Amino acid sequence: MDRLRGWPATLAEGPVGLRPLRLRDVRVWRETRLRNADWLRPWEPSNPETPLFRTGLSPYVSMVGTLRREARQGMALPWVVTYNGAFAGQLTVGAIVWGSARSAQVGYWVDGALAGKGITPTALAMAVDHCFFTTGLHRLEANIRPENHASRRVVEKLGFREEGVRRRQLHIDGAWRDHICYALTVEDVPRGLLVQWRRARDSSAARHGESP
């Protein structure tokens, strides 16, 4: 667990990066969230610490404080997703359980203006490899609403397996919503998920006559 304490590492794959979430990200975080409110609202848990529409700085400061505390305790890895060095979204590995489980849950969002560029699967693949091969986790879950086809495509592209529906798991957009559980264990990606994703991406680009 000592490998996880404190803020997470900075990672990069081409133009896509992961870096620690910082207090000074507050203005770009708030602007991006407000601009993407309609894009994000149907999929995000109702959480008073990170409302979509409040314009003050306190919700962000509270969130960063909570994540900083959880990171120190080995319970979370909070990242900013970047694209060409600019803020593009957020990816958090949370609910980390140690002991005999060594498991966690991952959540992410990316600016809708950047959708379709392969940013989210690349960022998620980097995060998975870091969790498995640097911090020593064994299992990662992503719980996604059945209607969220874009997010489901991300994990399906990366080879997460579908493990069933969790009925009324989270309160989202005014009601308790079902979620599909997707999961990976370290045995599923012995050579790393990023390598696997690169190959799949390059193969797809070759089939369509595109540059990878």
pLDDT of residue 179: 96
Pick the closest to residue 10 from 66, 79, 73, 72 (CA basis): 79
Task: Count how many domains the chain has.
Answer: 1
Mean pLDDT computed over 62-84: 92
Whether 140 is covered by a domain: the verdict is yes
Collect all residues with Cβ–Cβ distance below 8 Å to 161 and sequence separation of at least 6. Answer: 182, 183, 184, 188
Whether 6 is covered by a domain: the verdict is no
Residue for token digits 């009601």? Answer: 175
Whether 2 is covered by a domain: the verdict is no
In which domain, by residue range, is 169 found? 11-209
Residue for token digits 């989270």? Answer: 170
Whether 173 is covered by a domain: the verdict is yes
Q: Among residues of the chain, what percentage have pLDDT more than 90?
A: 67
Nearest 5°: CA angle at 49, between 23 and 176?
A: 140
Whether 5 is covered by a domain: the verdict is no
Whether 41 is covered by a domain: the verdict is yes
Tell me the pLDDT band of 2, cut-offs 50, 70 and 90: very low
* CATH number of the structural domain spanning residue 155: 3.40.630.30
Tell me the pLDDT band of 47, cut-offs 50, 70 and 90: low
pLDDT of residue 208: 63
Tens digits of residue pLDDT in 123-159:
999 999 999 999 999 999 999 999 999 999 999 999 9
Tell me the pTM. 0.89
C-beta contacts of 36-43 below 8 A and 24+ residues apart: 36/109, 36/111, 36/112, 39/112, 40/109, 41/173, 42/145, 42/147, 42/148, 42/172, 42/173, 43/109, 43/144, 43/145, 43/148, 43/151, 43/172, 43/173
